[in-house]
Structure 1
Amino acid sequence: MTYPISFVSLGPGEPELITVKGLRQLQTADIIYCPATRNRQGESISRAADIVRALEISETAIRCFMLPMSKDRTEAWKAYDALYNEAESNYAEGKQIVIVAEGDAGFYSSIQYIYDKFTAAGIAVQRIAGIPAFIAAGALAGLHIVKQEEQIVVIPGTPSADELSEKINAGYVIVIMKLSQCVEAVHECIRKHPQTQFHYFENVGTEKEYYTSDKKIIADKIYPYFSLMIIQ
């Protein structure tokens, strides 16, 4: 029997936040590919693999692939091409293949690149939804993220202070992902909009998760990579 290649979304970090459907795919997989990076000491680390291990999945199924993290995506595309070739070969042998991604695999996830390659090659694929980090963040803080006729915009961490102010003045609820790229813009907006609520989160769904709505603390922080903000 030939199974589709499954792209399983792991959720924001807490193993119990994976869906039942996603967990079942992991439990029946022959091979689970997990993205890994290198820390400043040059050691290989994989938050995705740590989540899979916490779900008591057999270590023999887990295969990490190195995914360079850089704004220049050239090396990342090469890594995905190598993964595609290996996964396609194992798929042809009848193996049940899973490729995982943190959060949701279709939401600000570069894993879509390889999903599209399989689709273009006529190989059956399926994607299993996951909980995005900002939804888990709202639960952590007890926020009613949007209500009634409110509108929400979700943006990457690239806006200028003027762009953020324009959205705030228009009445949008704003979610900024990967906040580390727009530290100064956020700091400036906090000063410009004293009546606006700024909710700051780090490492949601992990042991290091952190939340504050204290503007003084937020305005003094340098935001790490795994951070996000909800502005209301």
Structure 2
Amino acid sequence: MSGKVFGVALGPGDPELITIKALKCLQNVEKIYYPSTQSPKGNQDSFSLVILKQLDIEESKFVPIQVPMSKDRSHAEKAYTELSLKVQQDVAEGKQVAVVSEGDISFFSTFSYLLNDFHAKGVDFEMIPGVPAFILGGSAGKLPLVTQNDKLLVAPDLENQQELKALLAQNQTVVLMKISKVREWIKEFIKESRLQFFYGEYLGTGKQFTCTDIECLKDRKIPYFAIIIFYGNK
């Protein structure tokens, strides 16, 4: 059997939302690399591992990849380079291995940072898609994200309210992800704009919390793993 690497999407958190193809792949490969972060306090955290442990997979395959939580991207880039080299060695030895990510494999995914290297080195790989968090958010919010000719925009790391207003003026639906920069002003914006919205955090996990009323957000601390969907220009 020739070596090959699979980029496998785990879905947003609920183990039942992984695809059948993804599950079969993970059951058949010899190694499964999963991202794990280390906080400044030294704590290890991995949503990928939480999902993997709920699936029918031999845990001896699991191999953590440490990706530091830092605004300095050089640390993360070093981790991706090391992962790429390990995977290439596995493939050279004829092994079939997987690299997993929560959500979809091409949407804010660890695997995306390996692609240039794989293309350049001629590494045989396949990507198996999955359900990203904002798609689950659309279902959890019980409203369509888009219909007919609507435009949808996914916007990470917005700088200010003016930027958000401009995006809402051009799109029927705007999904905010990686919302650490908006924490200071987003609640006031929601209150003043009176726009219909859906808020969800840790979607698909046991810690899932959702709401559509600004009152339920008033005293709530917004974590990193949260999304906000605005149903604006409709």
TM-score bin, normalised by smaller chain = over 0.9
User: Which stretch shifts more, 181-190 or 134-143?
Assistant: 181-190
CA shift, 1:218, in A, is 2.7
Cα pair 1:164 1:189 within 8 Å, conserved: no
Q: 1:219 to 1:190 in 2, by over 3 A?
A: farther
DSSP 3-state at the match of 2:183: helix
Q: 1:151 to 1:222 in 2, by over 3 A?
A: same
Cα pair 1:190 1:219 within 8 Å, conserved: no
Aligned residues: 231
DSSP 3-state at the match of 2:68: coil
Superposed CA RMSD? 1.6
Cα pair 2:174 2:230 within 8 Å, conserved: yes
Which 5+ residue runs of structure 1 have no aligned equivalent?
none
Alignment partners' CA distance in 2, 1:144 and 1:86: 42
Cα pair 2:101 2:110 within 8 Å, conserved: no
Q: 1:119 to 1:170 in 2, by over 3 A?
A: closer
Q: 1:32 to 1:44 in 2, by over 3 A?
A: same
Cα pair 1:115 1:125 within 8 Å, conserved: no
Superposed CA deviations along residues 52-80 of structure 1, whole A, max 9, x for unmatched, are 12102111111011111222210111111
Alignment partners' CA distance in 2, 1:5 and 1:89: 11
Alignment partners' CA distance in 2, 1:199 and 1:52: 28
Alignment partners' CA distance in 2, 1:106 and 1:75: 21
Alignment partners' CA distance in 2, 1:185 and 1:152: 22
Alignment partners' CA distance in 2, 1:220 and 1:146: 30
Cα pair 1:165 1:189 within 8 Å, conserved: no
Superposed CA deviations along residues 195-220 of structure 1, whole A, max 9, x for unmatched, are x1121100001000010011123344
1:201 aligns with 2:214: no
Cα pair 1:84 1:114 within 8 Å, conserved: yes
1:53 is matched with 53
Alignment partners' CA distance in 2, 1:87 and 1:182: 37
DSSP 3-state at the match of 2:53: helix
Alignment partners' CA distance in 2, 1:182 and 1:162: 12
Cα pair 1:161 1:185 within 8 Å, conserved: yes
Q: How does 1:5-44 map to 2 (within 5 A)?
A: 5-39=5-39, 41-44=41-44
Alignment partners' CA distance in 2, 1:181 and 1:109: 20
Identity of aligned residues (%): 37
DSSP 3-state at the match of 1:158: coil
Alignment partners' CA distance in 2, 1:80 and 1:167: 32
1:94 aligns with 2:94: yes
Cα pair 1:176 1:229 within 8 Å, conserved: yes
1:226 is matched with 225
1:115 is matched with 115
Alignment partners' CA distance in 1, 2:153 and 2:218: 22
CA shift, 1:154, in A, is 0.7
Alignment partners' CA distance in 2, 1:211 and 1:151: 24
DSSP 3-state at the match of 1:8: strand
DSSP 3-state at the match of 1:184: coil
2:103 is matched with 103
2:191 is matched with 191
2:211 is matched with 212
Superposed CA deviations along residues 28-62 of structure 1, whole A, max 9, x for unmatched, are 01000001012465232221122112102111111
Alignment partners' CA distance in 2, 1:2 and 1:170: 49
DSSP 3-state at the match of 1:78: helix
DSSP 3-state at the match of 1:65: strand
Which 5+ residue runs of structure 2 have no aligned equivalent?
none
Alignment partners' CA distance in 2, 1:230 and 1:191: 14
